Amino acid sequence: MATQVIMPKFGMAQEDATILRWLKREGDVVEKGDVLLEVQTDKVNMEVESPGSGILRGTLAQEGQVVPVTQVIAYVLEPDEVLPTSDERGTTVVTPTPASPIKSDRRVTPVAQKILAAAGVDPSSVPSASPEQLTRQDAEKFLAQQRMPNDTQSIRATPAARRLAGEKKIDLTLIPGSGPQGRVQARDVVKTPDAPAPKENVLESESLIDEIIPLQGIRRTIANRMQASSQTAPHITFTVKADMTAAYAWRDEMTALAKVEHAPTVSFTALLVKVCAWALMRHRWVNASLHEDGIHLHRAVNIGVAVARTEGLIVPVIHQADRLNLGDITNRLNDLATRAKSNALTPDDVTGGTFTISNLGMFGIDEFTAIINPPESAILAVGRICKCPRVNEQDQIVARPMMKMTLSADHRVMDGAAAALFLRDVVTALEKPTILLW
Partner 1 sequence: MSEPREITYAQAVREALRQAMQRDPQVFLLGEDIGVYGGAFGVTDGLLDEFGSERVRDTPLSEAVIAGTAIGAAVTGMRPVAEIQFMDFITLAMEQLVLQAAKMRYMFGGKARVPMVLRTPAGSGTGAAAQHSESLEAWFVHVPGLKVVMPSTPYDAKGLLLAAIADDNPVIFIEHKLLYKTKGFVPEEYYTLPLATSEIKRKGKDLTLIATSVLVARALEAATQLAQEGIEIEIIDPRTLKPLDTAAMIQSVCKTGKALVVHEAPMTGGFGGEIVAQLCASEAFDFLDAPIRRLAGLDVPIPYNRELEKRAVPQVADIVREARALVRGEY
- List residues binding partner 1 (CB under 8 A): 158-163, 178-180, 183, 185-187
Cβ(330)–Cβ(345) below 8 Å: no
Quote the least distance from Cβ 417 to partner 1, whole Å: 56
Is residue 107 classed as helix, strand or coil in its secondary structure?
Answer: strand
DSSP β-bridge partners for residue 398: 390
Nearer to partner 1, 185 or 267 (CB): 185
Q: Indicate the pairing of strand 133-134 with strand 107-108.
A: parallel
Nearer to partner 1, 162 or 225 (CB): 162
* φ, ψ for residue 260, nearest 5 deg: -60, -40
Helices (H) and strands (E) in the chain, counts: 11, 18
Nearer to partner 1, 147 or 187 (CB): 187
- CA 426 → CA 100, 254, 297, 377, 378, distances in Å? 43, 19, 19, 17, 14
DSSP result, 258-307 = HHHHT-PPPPHHHHHHHHHHHHHHH-GGGSEEEETTEEEEPSS--EEE-B
Q: Which amino acid is at 21?
A: R
Nearer to partner 1, 183 or 284 (CB): 183
Quote the least distance from Cβ 165 to partner 1, whole Å: 11
Name the residue among 268, 292, 279 with its Cα closest to residue 385.
268
Exposure string for 147-183, b = 16+ CB within 10 A, e = fewer = eeeeeeeebebbeebbebbeeeebebbebebeeeeee
Nearer to partner 1, 21 or 163 (CB): 163
DSSP result, 317-334 = EETTGGG--HHHHHHHHH
Nearer to partner 1, 189 or 413 (CB): 189
Quote the least distance from Cβ 93 to partner 1, whole Å: 29
Nearer to partner 1, 166 or 196 (CB): 166
